[in-house]
Structure 1
Protein backbone atom coordinates (compact mmCIF):
# COMPACT_ATOMS: atom_id res chain seq x y z
CA UNK A 1 0.00 0.00 0.00
CA UNK A 2 1.40 3.42 -0.93
CA UNK A 3 0.80 4.94 2.52
CA UNK A 4 2.69 2.11 4.23
CA UNK A 5 -0.38 0.77 6.00
CA UNK A 6 -1.40 -2.83 5.68
CA UNK A 7 -5.05 -3.43 4.83
CA UNK A 8 -7.06 -6.61 4.83
CA UNK A 9 -10.02 -7.51 2.72
CA UNK A 10 -12.83 -9.54 4.20
CA UNK A 11 -13.54 -12.73 2.29
CA UNK A 12 -16.66 -14.13 3.97
CA UNK A 13 -19.78 -13.30 5.95
CA UNK A 14 -18.11 -14.03 9.29
CA UNK A 15 -15.44 -11.43 8.53
CA UNK A 16 -18.07 -8.90 7.49
CA UNK A 17 -19.96 -9.52 10.74
CA UNK A 18 -16.76 -8.98 12.76
CA UNK A 19 -15.86 -5.78 10.88
CA UNK A 20 -19.35 -4.32 11.21
CA UNK A 21 -19.43 -5.22 14.90
CA UNK A 22 -16.14 -3.36 15.35
CA UNK A 23 -17.51 -0.38 13.46
CA UNK A 24 -20.68 -0.31 15.57
CA UNK A 25 -18.66 -0.48 18.80
CA UNK A 26 -16.55 2.48 17.66
CA UNK A 27 -19.63 4.39 16.50
CA UNK A 28 -21.40 3.87 19.83
CA UNK A 29 -18.35 5.05 21.78
CA UNK A 30 -17.95 8.15 19.59
CA UNK A 31 -21.70 8.91 19.63
CA UNK A 32 -22.94 7.69 23.03
CA UNK A 33 -26.38 9.24 22.53
CA UNK A 34 -27.15 6.30 20.19
CA UNK A 35 -26.14 3.55 22.62
CA UNK A 36 -29.68 2.84 23.85
CA UNK A 37 -31.33 2.99 20.44
CA UNK A 38 -32.61 -0.06 18.64
CA UNK A 39 -30.57 -1.31 15.68
CA UNK A 40 -32.20 -2.76 12.56
CA UNK A 41 -30.45 -4.25 9.54
CA UNK A 42 -32.16 -4.46 6.18
CA UNK A 43 -30.91 -5.56 2.81
CA UNK A 44 -31.74 -7.17 -0.50
CA UNK A 45 -30.08 -9.50 -2.96
CA UNK A 46 -26.69 -10.68 -1.64
CA UNK A 47 -27.52 -9.03 1.70
CA UNK A 48 -29.59 -12.20 2.16
CA UNK A 49 -26.26 -13.63 3.27
CA UNK A 50 -24.81 -10.57 5.01
CA UNK A 51 -27.79 -9.51 7.15
CA UNK A 52 -28.23 -12.89 8.90
CA UNK A 53 -24.45 -13.19 9.42
CA UNK A 54 -24.22 -9.71 10.96
CA UNK A 55 -27.27 -10.34 13.17
CA UNK A 56 -25.93 -13.72 14.33
CA UNK A 57 -22.55 -12.14 15.07
CA UNK A 58 -24.11 -9.41 17.20
CA UNK A 59 -26.34 -11.88 19.07
CA UNK A 60 -23.37 -14.17 19.75
CA UNK A 61 -21.13 -11.34 20.94
CA UNK A 62 -23.90 -9.85 23.10
CA UNK A 63 -24.45 -13.25 24.74
CA UNK A 64 -20.74 -13.67 25.54
CA UNK A 65 -20.02 -10.03 26.40
CA UNK A 66 -17.40 -9.58 29.12
CA UNK A 67 -18.49 -6.64 31.29
CA UNK A 68 -14.84 -5.63 31.78
CA UNK A 69 -14.05 -5.57 28.04
CA UNK A 70 -15.26 -2.04 27.43
CA UNK A 71 -17.52 -3.35 24.67
CA UNK A 72 -21.14 -2.28 24.62
CA UNK A 73 -24.26 -4.41 24.34
CA UNK A 74 -25.72 -3.65 20.90
CA UNK A 75 -29.50 -3.39 20.93
CA UNK A 76 -30.32 -5.45 17.84
CA UNK A 77 -34.09 -5.19 17.44
CA UNK A 78 -34.74 -6.69 14.01
CA UNK A 79 -33.66 -7.61 10.51
CA UNK A 80 -35.33 -7.65 7.13
CA UNK A 81 -34.43 -9.16 3.78
CA UNK A 82 -36.14 -8.52 0.46
CA UNK A 83 -35.49 -10.60 -2.64
CA UNK A 84 -32.58 -12.19 -0.83
CA UNK A 85 -29.87 -14.43 -2.26
CA UNK A 86 -29.79 -16.72 0.74
CA UNK A 87 -29.46 -20.32 -0.39
CA UNK A 88 -27.73 -20.44 -3.79
CA UNK A 89 -28.20 -24.16 -4.38
CA UNK A 90 -31.95 -24.12 -3.78
CA UNK A 91 -32.49 -20.79 -5.52
CA UNK A 92 -30.48 -21.74 -8.61
CA UNK A 93 -32.59 -24.88 -9.03
CA UNK A 94 -35.82 -22.91 -8.54
CA UNK A 95 -35.41 -20.43 -11.43
CA UNK A 96 -36.05 -22.84 -14.34
CA UNK A 97 -39.04 -24.35 -12.52
CA UNK A 98 -40.49 -20.89 -11.83
CA UNK A 99 -40.07 -19.79 -15.44
CA UNK A 100 -41.45 -23.04 -16.88
CA UNK A 101 -44.27 -23.23 -14.34
CA UNK A 102 -45.40 -19.75 -15.35
CA UNK A 103 -45.24 -20.60 -19.08
CA UNK A 104 -42.40 -18.15 -19.67
CA UNK A 105 -40.08 -20.75 -21.26
CA UNK A 106 -40.73 -23.92 -23.22
CA UNK A 107 -39.73 -27.46 -22.25
CA UNK A 108 -36.51 -27.31 -24.28
CA UNK A 109 -35.32 -24.13 -22.53
CA UNK A 110 -36.37 -25.64 -19.20
CA UNK A 111 -34.29 -28.77 -19.85
CA UNK A 112 -31.27 -26.68 -20.92
CA UNK A 113 -31.50 -24.40 -17.88
CA UNK A 114 -31.91 -27.38 -15.53
CA UNK A 115 -28.85 -29.08 -17.04
CA UNK A 116 -26.82 -25.87 -16.76
CA UNK A 117 -28.03 -25.37 -13.17
CA UNK A 118 -26.86 -28.83 -12.17
CA UNK A 119 -23.50 -28.33 -13.93
CA UNK A 120 -22.93 -24.99 -12.20
CA UNK A 121 -23.93 -26.38 -8.81
CA UNK A 122 -21.58 -29.36 -9.23
CA UNK A 123 -18.72 -27.02 -10.14
CA UNK A 124 -19.52 -24.69 -7.26
CA UNK A 125 -19.53 -27.55 -4.75
CA UNK A 126 -16.19 -28.86 -6.06
CA UNK A 127 -14.56 -25.45 -5.71
CA UNK A 128 -16.40 -24.61 -2.51
CA UNK A 129 -17.38 -21.25 -4.01
CA UNK A 130 -20.60 -19.38 -4.57
CA UNK A 131 -22.61 -20.20 -7.68
CA UNK A 132 -22.52 -16.55 -8.72
CA UNK A 133 -18.72 -16.29 -8.80
CA UNK A 134 -18.69 -17.60 -12.38
CA UNK A 135 -21.50 -15.23 -13.26
CA UNK A 136 -21.25 -15.25 -17.07
CA UNK A 137 -21.71 -19.01 -17.38
CA UNK A 138 -23.91 -19.60 -14.35
CA UNK A 139 -26.31 -16.68 -14.36
CA UNK A 140 -29.31 -19.02 -14.48
CA UNK A 141 -31.75 -16.20 -13.71
CA UNK A 142 -30.33 -13.94 -16.43
CA UNK A 143 -30.18 -16.71 -19.03
CA UNK A 144 -33.69 -17.82 -18.11
CA UNK A 145 -35.05 -14.29 -18.39
CA UNK A 146 -33.44 -13.96 -21.83
CA UNK A 147 -35.06 -17.24 -22.88
CA UNK A 148 -38.37 -15.85 -21.60
CA UNK A 149 -38.06 -12.69 -23.71
CA UNK A 150 -36.82 -10.44 -20.89
CA UNK A 151 -39.89 -9.93 -18.73
CA UNK A 152 -39.57 -7.63 -15.74
CA UNK A 153 -37.67 -9.66 -13.13
CA UNK A 154 -39.89 -8.40 -10.30
CA UNK A 155 -43.20 -8.91 -12.12
CA UNK A 156 -42.91 -11.40 -14.97
CA UNK A 157 -46.32 -10.37 -16.30
CA UNK A 158 -44.72 -7.13 -17.51
CA UNK A 159 -42.32 -6.66 -20.40
CA UNK A 160 -40.51 -3.39 -19.77
CA UNK A 161 -37.68 -1.99 -21.83
CA UNK A 162 -34.57 -3.79 -20.56
CA UNK A 163 -31.93 -1.52 -19.05
CA UNK A 164 -29.35 -2.76 -21.59
CA UNK A 165 -31.43 -1.26 -24.41
CA UNK A 166 -31.38 2.07 -22.58
CA UNK A 167 -27.60 1.95 -22.11
CA UNK A 168 -27.10 0.93 -25.75
CA UNK A 169 -29.20 3.92 -26.79
CA UNK A 170 -27.05 6.24 -24.67
CA UNK A 171 -23.90 4.83 -26.29
CA UNK A 172 -25.02 5.90 -29.79
CA UNK A 173 -22.84 8.83 -30.86
CA UNK A 174 -24.80 12.06 -31.25
CA UNK A 175 -23.58 12.69 -34.80
CA UNK A 176 -25.45 9.60 -36.07
CA UNK A 177 -29.21 9.56 -36.56
CA UNK A 178 -30.96 7.36 -33.98
CA UNK A 179 -32.59 5.26 -36.73
CA UNK A 180 -29.28 4.34 -38.44
CA UNK A 181 -29.27 0.50 -38.43
CA UNK A 182 -25.47 0.45 -38.15
CA UNK A 183 -25.68 2.23 -34.80
CA UNK A 184 -28.54 0.18 -33.37
CA UNK A 185 -26.92 -3.23 -33.93
Structure 2
Protein backbone atom coordinates (compact mmCIF):
# COMPACT_ATOMS: atom_id res chain seq x y z
CA UNK A 1 0.00 0.00 0.00
CA UNK A 2 1.30 3.44 -0.93
CA UNK A 3 0.99 6.79 0.84
CA UNK A 4 2.36 9.86 -0.95
CA UNK A 5 3.39 13.30 0.26
CA UNK A 6 1.27 15.86 1.98
CA UNK A 7 -0.33 15.92 4.24
CA UNK A 8 -3.21 16.11 1.82
CA UNK A 9 -1.85 14.95 -1.55
CA UNK A 10 -3.32 12.27 -3.79
CA UNK A 11 -1.82 8.77 -3.84
CA UNK A 12 -3.94 7.98 -6.90
CA UNK A 13 -3.15 11.16 -8.83
CA UNK A 14 0.51 11.20 -7.88
CA UNK A 15 1.65 7.69 -6.98
CA UNK A 16 -0.60 5.60 -9.23
CA UNK A 17 -0.64 7.74 -12.37
CA UNK A 18 2.62 9.66 -12.14
CA UNK A 19 5.09 7.30 -10.50
CA UNK A 20 4.70 3.55 -9.94
CA UNK A 21 1.26 2.55 -11.21
CA UNK A 22 0.65 0.53 -14.41
CA UNK A 23 -0.34 3.65 -16.36
CA UNK A 24 0.98 7.22 -16.43
CA UNK A 25 -1.09 10.29 -17.31
CA UNK A 26 -0.10 11.45 -20.78
CA UNK A 27 0.77 15.00 -21.85
CA UNK A 28 -1.99 17.52 -21.06
CA UNK A 29 -4.17 14.78 -19.56
CA UNK A 30 -5.28 13.48 -22.97
CA UNK A 31 -5.06 9.87 -21.86
CA UNK A 32 -2.90 7.21 -20.22
CA UNK A 33 0.29 5.55 -21.35
CA UNK A 34 1.87 2.28 -20.27
CA UNK A 35 4.43 2.48 -17.47
CA UNK A 36 7.16 -0.15 -18.00
CA UNK A 37 8.48 0.49 -14.47
CA UNK A 38 5.23 -0.19 -12.63
CA UNK A 39 5.51 -1.91 -9.28
CA UNK A 40 2.47 -4.06 -10.02
CA UNK A 41 4.76 -6.35 -12.03
CA UNK A 42 6.13 -7.45 -8.65
CA UNK A 43 3.26 -6.93 -6.19
CA UNK A 44 -0.43 -6.19 -5.79
CA UNK A 45 -0.71 -2.44 -5.22
CA UNK A 46 -3.15 -0.36 -3.16
CA UNK A 47 -3.09 3.44 -3.54
CA UNK A 48 -4.87 4.97 -0.56
CA UNK A 49 -6.23 8.52 -0.52
CA UNK A 50 -5.74 9.91 2.97
CA UNK A 51 -6.66 11.76 5.00
CA UNK A 52 -10.34 11.98 4.12
CA UNK A 53 -11.05 14.71 1.57
CA UNK A 54 -7.97 14.01 -0.55
CA UNK A 55 -8.62 13.30 -4.22
CA UNK A 56 -12.19 12.10 -4.67
CA UNK A 57 -12.46 10.75 -1.12
CA UNK A 58 -15.08 12.17 1.22
CA UNK A 59 -16.88 11.59 4.50
CA UNK A 60 -20.57 11.90 5.31
CA UNK A 61 -19.57 12.89 8.85
CA UNK A 62 -18.86 16.63 8.87
CA UNK A 63 -16.86 16.43 12.10
CA UNK A 64 -14.27 14.20 10.41
CA UNK A 65 -12.95 17.22 8.53
CA UNK A 66 -12.38 19.09 11.81
CA UNK A 67 -10.46 16.38 13.66
CA UNK A 68 -8.07 15.32 10.89
CA UNK A 69 -4.55 14.69 12.16
CA UNK A 70 -1.87 12.02 12.11
CA UNK A 71 -3.59 9.82 14.70
CA UNK A 72 -6.98 10.17 13.00
CA UNK A 73 -5.40 9.30 9.64
CA UNK A 74 -3.74 6.17 11.06
CA UNK A 75 -7.00 4.95 12.57
CA UNK A 76 -8.94 5.76 9.41
CA UNK A 77 -6.39 3.94 7.23
CA UNK A 78 -6.48 0.95 9.54
CA UNK A 79 -10.29 0.83 9.39
CA UNK A 80 -10.06 0.90 5.59
CA UNK A 81 -7.59 -1.98 5.56
CA UNK A 82 -9.76 -4.16 7.78
CA UNK A 83 -12.79 -3.56 5.55
CA UNK A 84 -10.69 -4.25 2.46
CA UNK A 85 -9.46 -7.56 3.86
CA UNK A 86 -13.06 -8.53 4.69
CA UNK A 87 -13.96 -7.93 1.05
CA UNK A 88 -10.87 -9.75 -0.24
CA UNK A 89 -10.06 -12.36 2.45
CA UNK A 90 -7.67 -14.31 0.20
CA UNK A 91 -5.14 -11.49 0.64
CA UNK A 92 -5.16 -11.35 4.45
CA UNK A 93 -2.39 -13.88 5.00
CA UNK A 94 -0.15 -12.53 2.25
CA UNK A 95 2.93 -10.45 3.02
CA UNK A 96 1.91 -6.81 3.44
CA UNK A 97 4.18 -3.80 2.97
CA UNK A 98 3.45 -0.10 3.48
CA UNK A 99 5.40 2.36 1.34
CA UNK A 100 5.41 6.12 1.27
CA UNK A 101 7.28 9.32 0.58
CA UNK A 102 7.66 12.72 2.21
CA UNK A 103 4.98 13.20 4.91
CA UNK A 104 4.42 9.45 4.84
CA UNK A 105 7.40 9.53 7.20
CA UNK A 106 4.69 10.32 9.76
CA UNK A 107 1.77 8.33 8.32
CA UNK A 108 3.47 5.01 7.61
CA UNK A 109 5.21 4.35 10.97
CA UNK A 110 2.05 5.32 12.88
CA UNK A 111 -0.08 2.96 10.80
CA UNK A 112 2.51 0.20 11.13
CA UNK A 113 2.57 0.61 14.91
CA UNK A 114 -1.23 0.45 15.02
CA UNK A 115 -1.25 -2.73 12.94
CA UNK A 116 1.30 -4.37 15.26
CA UNK A 117 -0.73 -3.39 18.34
CA UNK A 118 -3.98 -4.68 16.85
CA UNK A 119 -2.38 -7.93 15.69
CA UNK A 120 -2.79 -9.25 19.24
CA UNK A 121 -6.32 -10.09 18.09
CA UNK A 122 -5.95 -13.04 15.65
CA UNK A 123 -9.15 -12.06 13.82
CA UNK A 124 -7.60 -8.68 12.93
CA UNK A 125 -4.15 -9.96 12.02
CA UNK A 126 -2.41 -8.26 9.08
CA UNK A 127 0.79 -9.94 7.88
CA UNK A 128 2.91 -6.77 7.99
CA UNK A 129 6.47 -7.52 6.84
CA UNK A 130 8.12 -4.12 6.46
CA UNK A 131 7.75 -0.43 5.67
CA UNK A 132 9.48 1.48 2.86
CA UNK A 133 10.10 5.22 3.15
CA UNK A 134 11.54 7.54 0.51
CA UNK A 135 12.60 11.10 1.34
CA UNK A 136 10.57 10.85 4.55
CA UNK A 137 9.71 13.64 6.92
CA UNK A 138 10.58 12.03 10.20
CA UNK A 139 12.05 14.98 12.10
CA UNK A 140 10.90 18.52 11.32
CA UNK A 141 14.02 20.04 12.85
CA UNK A 142 16.45 17.83 10.93
CA UNK A 143 14.46 18.28 7.72
CA UNK A 144 14.67 22.06 8.02
CA UNK A 145 18.41 21.97 8.69
CA UNK A 146 18.94 19.67 5.73
CA UNK A 147 16.84 21.84 3.44
CA UNK A 148 18.77 24.97 4.43
CA UNK A 149 22.20 23.38 3.97
CA UNK A 150 21.17 21.82 0.66
CA UNK A 151 19.91 25.18 -0.66
CA UNK A 152 23.15 26.87 0.39
CA UNK A 153 25.46 24.17 -1.02
CA UNK A 154 23.64 24.38 -4.37
CA UNK A 155 23.74 28.20 -4.57
CA UNK A 156 19.99 28.61 -4.08
CA UNK A 157 20.59 31.01 -1.19
CA UNK A 158 23.51 33.31 -0.45
CA UNK A 159 26.21 32.81 2.15
CA UNK A 160 24.67 35.66 4.12
CA UNK A 161 21.16 34.17 4.17
CA UNK A 162 22.55 30.78 5.15
CA UNK A 163 24.57 32.34 7.98
CA UNK A 164 21.54 34.23 9.34
CA UNK A 165 19.37 31.10 9.29
CA UNK A 166 22.02 29.00 11.01
CA UNK A 167 22.53 31.63 13.71
CA UNK A 168 18.95 32.78 14.31
CA UNK A 169 16.75 29.71 13.71
CA UNK A 170 16.32 27.17 16.47
CA UNK A 171 14.41 24.47 14.61
CA UNK A 172 14.20 22.35 17.74
CA UNK A 173 12.16 25.06 19.47
CA UNK A 174 8.37 25.23 19.57
CA UNK A 175 8.78 28.96 19.04
CA UNK A 176 11.04 28.96 15.96
CA UNK A 177 9.12 31.56 13.97
CA UNK A 178 8.99 34.24 16.69
CA UNK A 179 12.49 35.29 15.62
CA UNK A 180 12.07 37.91 12.88
CA UNK A 181 15.54 37.38 11.40
CA UNK A 182 14.88 33.66 11.12
CA UNK A 183 11.44 34.09 9.57
CA UNK A 184 12.58 36.66 7.00
CA UNK A 185 15.56 34.56 5.94
CA UNK A 186 13.53 31.37 5.60
CA UNK A 187 10.95 33.36 3.62
CA UNK A 188 13.78 34.28 1.24
CA UNK A 189 14.73 30.61 0.89
CA UNK A 190 11.14 29.59 0.10
CA UNK A 191 10.85 32.46 -2.38
CA UNK A 192 13.67 30.95 -4.43
CA UNK A 193 11.81 27.66 -4.72
CA UNK A 194 8.90 29.42 -6.40
CA UNK A 195 11.21 29.77 -9.40
CA UNK A 196 12.88 26.34 -9.47
CA UNK A 197 12.03 22.72 -8.75
CA UNK A 198 13.32 21.71 -5.32
CA UNK A 199 13.75 18.08 -6.43
CA UNK A 200 15.34 18.87 -9.79
CA UNK A 201 17.29 22.10 -9.57
CA UNK A 202 18.77 21.95 -13.04
CA UNK A 203 15.65 21.24 -15.09
CA UNK A 204 12.91 23.57 -16.28
CA UNK A 205 9.79 24.39 -14.29
CA UNK A 206 6.30 24.13 -15.76
CA UNK A 207 5.26 27.41 -17.35
CA UNK A 208 2.30 26.11 -19.34
CA UNK A 209 -0.22 27.03 -16.66
CA UNK A 210 1.19 29.65 -14.33
CA UNK A 211 -2.07 30.00 -12.41
CA UNK A 212 -2.13 26.28 -11.63
CA UNK A 213 1.52 26.28 -10.60
CA UNK A 214 1.05 29.27 -8.32
CA UNK A 215 -2.00 27.71 -6.67
CA UNK A 216 -0.16 24.45 -6.10
CA UNK A 217 2.77 26.19 -4.48
CA UNK A 218 0.49 28.30 -2.28
CA UNK A 219 -1.05 25.14 -0.85
CA UNK A 220 2.29 23.86 0.37
CA UNK A 221 4.50 26.88 0.92
CA UNK A 222 6.00 27.90 4.22
CA UNK A 223 3.65 29.34 6.83
CA UNK A 224 5.27 31.18 9.75
CA UNK A 225 2.64 29.81 12.15
CA UNK A 226 3.61 26.21 11.43
CA UNK A 227 6.68 24.02 11.80
CA UNK A 228 5.60 21.91 8.83
CA UNK A 229 8.08 21.53 6.02
CA UNK A 230 6.99 23.01 2.68
CA UNK A 231 5.47 20.35 0.44
CA UNK A 232 6.86 21.23 -2.95
CA UNK A 233 5.88 18.87 -5.75
CA UNK A 234 8.52 18.01 -8.32
CA UNK A 235 9.98 15.45 -10.68
CA UNK A 236 11.45 14.74 -14.07
CA UNK A 237 8.45 16.24 -15.92
CA UNK A 238 7.71 19.64 -14.38
CA UNK A 239 4.14 19.72 -15.73
CA UNK A 240 3.03 16.28 -14.57
CA UNK A 241 0.74 17.63 -11.83
CA UNK A 242 -1.02 19.74 -14.45
CA UNK A 243 -1.51 16.66 -16.65
CA UNK A 244 -3.07 14.80 -13.72
CA UNK A 245 -5.37 17.71 -12.90
CA UNK A 246 -6.58 17.90 -16.49
CA UNK A 247 -7.11 14.12 -16.63
CA UNK A 248 -9.04 13.71 -13.38
CA UNK A 249 -11.27 16.70 -14.09
CA UNK A 250 -12.43 15.22 -17.41
CA UNK A 251 -16.16 14.34 -17.42
CA UNK A 252 -15.57 10.91 -19.01
CA UNK A 253 -12.87 10.02 -16.47
CA UNK A 254 -15.01 11.00 -13.48
CA UNK A 255 -17.93 9.03 -14.88
CA UNK A 256 -15.73 5.97 -15.48
CA UNK A 257 -14.45 6.20 -11.90
CA UNK A 258 -18.05 6.50 -10.60
CA UNK A 259 -17.32 9.74 -8.76
CA UNK A 260 -19.79 11.81 -10.82
CA UNK A 261 -22.45 11.35 -13.47
CA UNK A 262 -20.24 13.06 -16.04
CA UNK A 263 -22.35 16.22 -15.91
CA UNK A 264 -22.02 17.57 -12.36
CA UNK A 265 -18.26 17.33 -11.88
CA UNK A 266 -16.09 17.09 -8.77
CA UNK A 267 -13.23 19.57 -8.53
CA UNK A 268 -10.12 17.39 -8.33
CA UNK A 269 -6.72 18.75 -7.28
CA UNK A 270 -3.37 17.07 -6.62
CA UNK A 271 -3.23 18.41 -3.05
CA UNK A 272 -5.83 19.79 -0.66
Q: For 1:39, which of 96, 104, 107 is the aligned residue?
A: 96
Q: 2:198 maps to which residue?
A: 153
Q: 1:90 maps to which residue?
A: 142
2:144 aligned with 1:102: no
CA distance in 2, matches of 1:159, 1:5: 43
Which is further off, 20-29 or 144-153?
A: 144-153
TM-score (norm 1): 0.62
Identify if the C-alpha distance between structure 1 residues 169 and 53 changes in structure 2 by more than 3 Å, giving closer, same or farther.
closer
Which consecutive residues of structure 1, in runs of 5 or more, have no partner in the other structure? Answer: 132-136, 172-185
2:131 aligned with 1:79: yes
Structure 1 contact 117–138 (Cα < 8 Å) conserved: no
Q: 1:60 maps to which residue?
A: 117
TM-superposed deviation, 1:126: 4.8
Identify if the C-alpha distance between structure 1 residues 115 and 166 changes in structure 2 by more than 3 Å, giving closer, same or farther.
farther
TM-score (norm 2): 0.45
TM-superposed deviation, 1:58: 0.7
TM-superposed deviation, 1:41: 1.3
TM-superposed deviation, 1:61: 1.5
Deviations 1:122-175 (A, max 9, x none): 4xx159xxx9xxxxx7994x842644794432233x1422x3x4322789xxxx
TM-superposed deviation, 1:52: 0.9
TM-superposed deviation, 1:108: 1.5
Instruction: For CA contacts below 8 A with separation 6 or more, give which structure has more relative contact order.
Output: 2
Q: How many residues in Structure 1 have an aligned counterpart in Structure 2?
A: 148
Secondary structure (helix, strand or coil) at the match of 1:78 reads: strand
Q: For 1:166, which of 161, 184, 208 is the aligned residue?
A: 208
* RMSD of aligned Cα (Å): 3.5
Identify if the C-alpha distance between structure 1 residues 41 and 170 changes in structure 2 by more than 3 Å, giving closer, same or farther.
closer
2:70 aligned with 1:16: no
CA distance in 2, matches of 1:11, 1:166: 34
TM-superposed deviation, 1:20: 1.7
Secondary structure (helix, strand or coil) at the match of 1:166 reads: coil
Which consecutive residues of structure 2, in runs of 5 or more, have no partner in the other structure? Answer: 1-59, 178-182, 214-272
Secondary structure (helix, strand or coil) at the match of 2:209 reads: helix
Which is further off, 81-90 or 6-15?
A: 6-15
